[in-house]
Amino acid sequence: MAAEEVSTELLRRFSPLDGLKRDNLAALARKVQIRDLSPGQVLFKEGDTEKRTIYVISGVLELVDQGKTVGTIEGNSDAARNPVAPVYPRRITARARDRVQFLSIDSDLLDVMLTWDQTGTYEVSELQGMADEGNEDWMTMLLQTKAFHKIPPANIQAIFMRMQQINYRSGDVVLKQGAEGDYFYVLIRGSALVTRETPLSKEGIKLAELRVGDTFGEEALISEAKRNATVTMLSDGSVMRLGKEDFKKLLNEPMLEWVSREEAEEIVRAGGQWLDVRLPSEFENQHIDGAINIPLYFIRLKISMLDENQKYVLCCDTGRRSSAGAYILSERGYQAYVLRDGIGSEST
């Protein structure tokens, strides 16, 4: 299926997209593509559960039930203004009669955008410290992450209102390894480098390079530990920061899913995976059978090794480090659970 970019004018042809504010519609347009179906090609089958909102742009899409065509949707018709078979799992099969062009939108993303559009009662320019041109980009980036799908709209509004903008020069240290955790950060302008000092490398091992929309600083806030890395600006730039207590209440708590030992084992029996975030020496000394080990400070670096379709139960000795790891995974769209109280507690 080939893909083309989408204009806001095209999106306004469809309901309820035509009700979105201009800026939100433009943000959605950057996340959507026009796709093609060849004659006879199936778009989705009866029973499919993938949450995609589909709109027909051109051509004729046949709706098939038990082998019989029960309806059609033709581009530019009244029926095409609305999503195709929006109930999950799908109750029918959709198949192209001729060449069909269509839009496919992540349904959760669309729901977040619609909710934000209707509950975000202020404009970006009204937010204190957010008047710089282009700053809406980092906001829409955050709204479009799967992490924000789990956060109540009222919390999202409070998060943006309580954030504070801080400007930095190239070479400035935003946070220092070993310092106390006090803020959660979002990079909104420029780029930054994440490094970790080790006994063998005082200059620091490069862990990641941050771009606009990337977040950092959450591990120390969640685990009540000191900063495990240093973040240094690679260029002039700006961050938005959220205080520790606001972060915990508004962002962290809604995102984490805590489970008992019994619940965790049920998830693993159903195909999930134990993920131990302690140090390798701790893991070697004691661990749950079948667990894999990725230390917390390596999770960002090694996250590509994990399967986005897999459920992970994160564990450590108390639950602090595993909750920080689960937040990072959840923030990036992974299904992550936290073992309550850790692997050594009898209460689990």
What confidence tens digit (pLDDT) does each residue in 301-323 have? 888 899 999 999 999 988 888 88
CA dihedral (180, 186, 187, 188) positive or negative = negative
Per annotation, catalytic residue among 103, 316, 338, 339: 316
Q: What domains are there in the chain, each with its CATH number? A: 3-106 (2.60.120.10), 120-252 (2.60.120.10), 256-339 (3.40.250.10)
Q: What is the pLDDT of residue 89?
A: 92
pTM here? 0.57
Q: What is the pLDDT of residue 232?
A: 96
Task: Please list the alpha-helical segments (H only) found in the chain.
Answer: 8-11, 22-29, 107-119, 136-144, 153-162, 218-223, 244-246, 253-255, 261-269, 280-285, 299-302, 320-331
pLDDT tens for each residue of 241-294: 999 998 888 887 777 889 999 999 999 999 999 999 998 888 988 899 999 999
Q: What is the pLDDT of residue 282?
A: 87
Q: Is 315 among the catalytic positions? A: no
Rounded-to-integer distance, Cα 11 and Cα 32, Å? 9
Rounded-to-integer distance, Cα 120 and Cα 111, Å? 14
Low-confidence residues of the chain: pLDDT under 50: 1-2, 121-134, 346-348
Q: What is the pLDDT of residue 219?
A: 83
